[in-house]
Amino acid sequence: MNNNNQEDFVRIFDTTLRDGEQCPGAAMSEDEKLEIAHHLAKMNVDVIEAGFPVSSPVQFKAVERIAREVEGPIIAALARALRGDIETAAKALTPAKRKRIHTFLATSPIHMKYKLGKTPSEVLKMAPEAVRIAREFVEDVEFSPEDGTRSEWEFLREVCEAVIEAGASTINIPDTVGYTTPEKYGELFAFLKANVRGAEKVIFSAHCHNDLGLATANSLSAVKNGARQVECTVNGIGERAGNTAMEEVVMALRTRKDFYGITTKINTQLISRASYLVKTITGMVVQPNKAIVGANAFAHESGIHQDGVIKNRETYEIMTPESVGLESNKIVLGRHSGRAGFRDRVIRLGFTPTQDELEAAYNRFLEIADKKKEIFDEDLIALLTDHSRRTTSAKFHLEYYHVTSGTTTIPSATIKLKVDDVIIEDTCTGDGPVDAVFKTIQKITNINPVLNKLTISPVTKGTDALAEVSVSITFGDRTVVGKGSSTDIVEASAISFIDALNRL
């Protein structure tokens, strides 16, 4: 295929569900992957890398289900340069209307010698052979020379020419260990586009890791030098220091189109929703000063800054909160708000609930509104995301809780759980109110997991802020993350623990 005739824009290849999931503690269930994939499709992501099918039955089923149920983007699956991997990827992708096999093989001297145990001549034969095998099943094949930025440029040129001749339509040059710099990465893309025979037939792609904090800068340098696909993840999650953050690349290209002269097709107003969704599902907290999606990204505390923004927002804001799906001001929603106003705001935040879901969420909203003076966008996003995770098919439901605690009192908790259709009540003591709650829930459910991590974070400011609690538990060989939100930290902790147990 000749890419000279294609519209000139930067394709967003989202690998949150594959490379992002490789972040320690970020494993997702099949349903969770599907939920994120549907939102990525709404955002107009060009390619969704759904997973690595050969790595586990769960990965295979998740890729297959996304391929069947998610329409719009190209659905990609990763495969090593092995026939078995490629055939498994092809099988998982069978239901997809638009599909891509992404195969890879290391090309750096250190990887070829110590990881593959192969000579450069052997790798030069294996790479195009993998592409040819993939072409037996799909027309769209992407090839990645792993550790590309530490590969010898001339050898990389030979590999690129070989895989183009074999039928690759996209060539990704990964900075696998986050080693390169913007200057050298840009030079590498310029070199390949100028010297690879058949370069005009393919899309060159950038895939960067953030070990030196340069992933976004490196990706943008690649775009400036001819890359027309960027591989990235929501919130920049991924192995070690993470991947290129999708929201950063997208907003940089949009905000500085005057410099880059090109942009993406992403619906940027759904960025904040995507960030919150991924944070909620993975339990990976977003740092407050994170670009674009951090809690402080559009906050101004300095008096000088506040004065400037009041007079003209452009003095200290290079993009608007609305452009990424946030309201710049507090929304006027409270206990007196009606269903119409609530529904309008929910839809503007990127949610598409059914009438029954909307009614249930509205009732939950009224409960919170009775406890909070003001309801913010962040509160609504937390409420709706939390509500969507409490399915009616869940085995355990919190009906009631009561705790006692104090400096001279042994903390205790009384919990009433609905287990299937049976109400069970019990009481336990603990080291603190939350520990007592967890022990009581464990006693009722007869499930005793290991608690790996408990994170409590306020969704908004103030003493009446909605609290969001994330717990990571391990039971047997399974690790799951549970989430819960409430204006009451203890209640949010109980909900999150029950959510995790339901996921087991």
Same domain? For 204 and 239 the reply is yes
Asked if 362 and 408 sit in the same domain, the reply is no
Q: 3-class DSSP state for residue 405? A: strand
Mean pLDDT of 343-365: 81
Q: Using CA atoms, how far apart are residues 316 and 303, in angstroms rounded to an integer?
A: 12
**What's the average model confidence in pLDDT over 155-181?**
98
* pLDDT tens-digit series, residues 230-262: 999 999 999 999 999 999 999 999 999 999 999
230 touches 244 (CB < 8 A): yes
273 and 315 share a domain? no
> Which backbone phi and psi does 94 adopt, to 5 degrees?
-45, -45
Residue 291 is assigned to a structural domain of this protein: no
| Mean local confidence (pLDDT), 34-57 | 96
Question: Going by C-beta distance under 8 Å and a sequence separation of 6 or more, which residues neighbour residue 391?
Answer: 502
Tell me how far CA of residue 449 lies from CA of 400, 472, 481, in angstroms. 22, 10, 12
Q: Does the pLDDT of residue 1 top 60, yes or no?
A: no
Domain boundary among 350, 370, 389: 389
pLDDT for position 328: 53
Instruction: 342-350: list long-range contacts, CB under 8 Å, 24+ apart.
Output: 345/377, 345/380, 346/380, 346/384, 349/273, 349/325, 349/377, 349/380, 349/381, 349/384, 350/39, 350/42, 350/269, 350/270, 350/273, 350/325
Q: Does residue 275 fall inside a structural domain?
A: yes
Q: Distance (Å, rounded) from C-alpha 463 to C-alpha 91?
A: 52
What is the average per-residue pLDDT within 403-419?
93
Please report the pLDDT score of residue 461 as a whole number. Answer: 67
Distances (CA, A) of 213 to 150, 181, 182, 205, 225: 18, 10, 11, 19, 20
CB count in 10 Å sphere of residue 310: 10
- Which pLDDT band, with edges at 50, 70 and 90, does 301 fall under? very low
> Which sign does the torsion angle of CA 389, 394, 399, 400 carry?
negative
3-state secondary structure of 11: strand
pLDDT tens-digit series, residues 201-224 = 999 999 999 999 999 999 999 999
Beta strands at 409-419 and 422-429: parallel, antiparallel or unpaired: antiparallel
Evaluate whether 23 touches 284 at the Cβ level (below 8 Å): yes
Residues in contact with 290: Cβ distance below 8 Å, sequence separation at least 6, in sequence order = 235, 236, 245, 297
Q: In the chain, how many domains are there?
A: 4
Which amino acid would we find at residue 221?
A: S
Read off φ and ψ for residue 24, nearest 5 degrees.
Answer: -55, 125
Whole-angstrom Cα distance, residue 181 to residue 167?
30
Asked whether residue 35 falls in the same domain as residue 172, the answer is yes
pLDDT of residue 312: 64
Report the C-alpha gap between 177 and 179 in whole angstroms: 5
pLDDT tens-digit readout, 48-78: 999 999 999 989 999 999 999 999 999 999 9
Q: Is the domain of 141 the same as that of 47? A: yes
Would the pLDDT of 8 be above 80?
A: yes
287 in any annotated domain = no
**Residues, the chain, total?**
504
pLDDT tens per residue across span 458-474: 776 666 677 788 888 88
Q: Are residues 7 and 39 in the same domain?
A: yes
Residues 438, 430 contacting (CB under 8 angstroms): yes
233 located within any domain: yes
pLDDT band at 309 (very low <50, low <70, confident <90, very high): very low
- Domain shared by 225 and 312, yes or no: no
Q: How far apart are CA 315 and CA 15, in angstroms?
A: 35
Residue 461 placed within a domain: yes
End-of-domain residue from the set 366, 389, 412: 389
CB-CB contact of 202 with 169 (8 Å): yes
Whether 350 and 442 map to the same domain: the answer is no
In terms of domains, do 313 and 371 share one?
Answer: no
Distance between start and end Cα atoms, the chain: 46
pLDDT of 23 above 70 = yes
pLDDT higher than 50, residue 5? no
Q: Residue 451: is its pLDDT beyond 80?
A: yes
Kindly give the residue spans of alpha helices, DSSP state H, lying in 289-426.
Answer: 303-311, 339-348, 355-369, 377-389
Rounded mean pLDDT of 10-18?
97
CATH classification at residue 141: 3.20.20.70
- Structure-token pair, residue 133: 């095998």
C-alpha dihedral over 375, 377, 380, 381, to 10 degrees?
-160
Range of the domain at 15: 3-282
Residue 31 has φ and ψ, to the nearest 5°, of -65, -40
DSSP line for 32-71: HHHHHHHHHHHTT-SEEEEE-GGG-HHHHHHHHHHHHH--
Judge contact between 92 and 64, C-beta under 8 A. Answer: yes
Domain match, 140 and 159 both? yes
Residue 421: CATH number of its domain: 3.30.160.270
Task: Tell me the HSE value of 136 on the side-chain side, using a 13 A CA sphere.
Answer: 13
pLDDT tens figures, 86-123:
999 999 999 999 999 999 999 999 999 999 999 999 99
Residues 235, 293: Cα–Cα separation, whole Å: 8
Please state, rounded to an integer, the average pLDDT across all residues of the chain. 88
| Percent residues over pLDDT 70 in the chain | 88
Q: Are residues 381 and 414 in the same domain?
A: no
- The answer to whether residue 33 sits within a structural domain is yes
Residues 43 and 108 in one domain: yes
Q: How open is the CA angle 240-99-260, to the nearest 5 degrees?
A: 60
In a domain, residue 293? The reply is no
Any domain includes 477 = yes
Round the CA-based radius of gyration of the chain to a whole number and report it.
Answer: 25
- Three-class SS of 266-312: CCHHHHHHHHHHHHHHHCCCCCCCCCCCCCCCCCCCCHHHHHHHHHC
Residue 35's contacts (CB-CB under 8 Å, 6 or more residues apart) are 277, 281, 388
Are the C-beta atoms of residues 120 and 159 closer than 8 Å to each other? Answer: no
What pLDDT score does 6 carry?
57
Please list the alpha-helical segments (H only) found in 70-181: 83-92, 109-111, 120-135, 153-166
**Is 361:353 a contact under the CB 8 Å cutoff?**
yes
